[in-house]
Amino acid sequence: MNNIIDGIEASLFFKNKIKQEINEEGLTPCLTVIQIGDNKASTIYVRNKEKACNDVKIKFDLIKFPETISEDLVIDEIRRLNNDVSVNGILVQLPLPQGFDEGKIINEISPLKDVDGLTYQNVGNLVLENECLVSCTPMGVMELLDMYNVDLLGKNVCVVGRSNLVGKPLIQLLLQKNATVSICHSKSKNIKDYTKMADVLIVAAGHPNLITKDMVKEGCVVIDVGINRENDSLVGDVDFDGVSKKASLITPVPGGVGPMTVASLLKNVVKAYKIQNGLR
């Protein structure tokens, strides 16, 4: 099928550009990841981030705490990293174990080192269209749309899902491209009425095969952000087999948005390094 958006190929192109930038400009960026507990999925994601950093010559450090650690000690470590000029990016791997205040911990990260783009300051600057570090998955989605020459100007874009991590930042990025944006969520009625109107449909609901062939119009661009485990395999929020017959472009799961999320993290680490060193 020639309508598939290849996130793996796109991420390789993206990472090669980042590696070239690091080599040619003599940059020495460093990412530190804090992981609390032993969530299996988190461990896989951390390993993927480490490999990606190694691929482009970004220094990677992992600080792993047991889930019995106190919130105060985690905050002390974040403050130490904030003051360490050799560390350019700080990322707290989510989700956190039960009992931790995610918002409180994330907002201890310096906004200049918040490479996940989740601190209140970065989120606020995104809304106001100021320079900031942007959440990685929404950035990855926008990079894919750009790479595949999807023009958003005036287009009807429907976002299904309103999470702080994906949906809400995506809305702001799409508005910056002058798209006409509608948002659907778990309390929306007649989602199909909105998805059928969309020139571009972005689904980040965390609900396997939520979007079916009858819910999209012919020629729609479909970006599936969902990753759901079903019967020992990964599936998206979109019924790929059905919807791909009508979509002009569509991302698979896996191999679509996921690789670009990691590539966008690398871009944020380099951007943070440059800001901290007065290079931009």
Is the confidence at residue 236, as pLDDT, over 90?
A: yes
**Residue 232: Cβ-neighbour burial (10 angstroms; 0-12, 13-18, 19+):** exposed
| Consecutive H or E run containing 77 | helix 71-82
The amino acid present at 208, given as its one-letter code, is P
Residues 90 and 148 in one domain: no
Total domains, the chain: 2
Note the pLDDT of residue 232. Answer: 81
Residues labelled catalytic: 49, 93, 116
Residues 104 and 141 in one domain: no
Domain of 103?
26-110
Q: What is the pLDDT of residues 173-227, one digit of tens each?
A: 999 999 999 999 999 999 999 999 999 999 999 999 999 999 999 999 999 999 9
Alpha helices in the chain (DSSP H): 7-25, 40-56, 71-82, 102-106, 120-127, 136-147, 167-176, 191-195, 240-243, 257-276
φ, ψ for residue 230 (rounded to 5)? -140, 120
Residues 152 and 104 in one domain: no
Residues 102 and 144 in one domain: no
Q: For residue 141, what pLDDT band results from cuts at 50, 70 and 90?
A: very high
Is residue 236 within 8 Å of 242, Cβ to Cβ? no
pTM of this prediction? 0.95
Q: What is the pLDDT of residues 9-50, one digit of tens each?
A: 999 999 999 999 999 999 999 999 999 999 998 999 999 999
Tell me which residue of 135, 134, 148, 139 sits closest to 222, measured CA to CA.
148
Radius of gyration of the chain measured on its C-alpha atoms: 19
Note the pLDDT of residue 52. Answer: 97
Tokens of 274: 């440059």
Contacts of 28 (CB under 8 A, 6+ apart): 59, 273
Boundary of a domain, candidates 75, 110, 145: 110
CATH of the domain at 203: 3.40.50.720
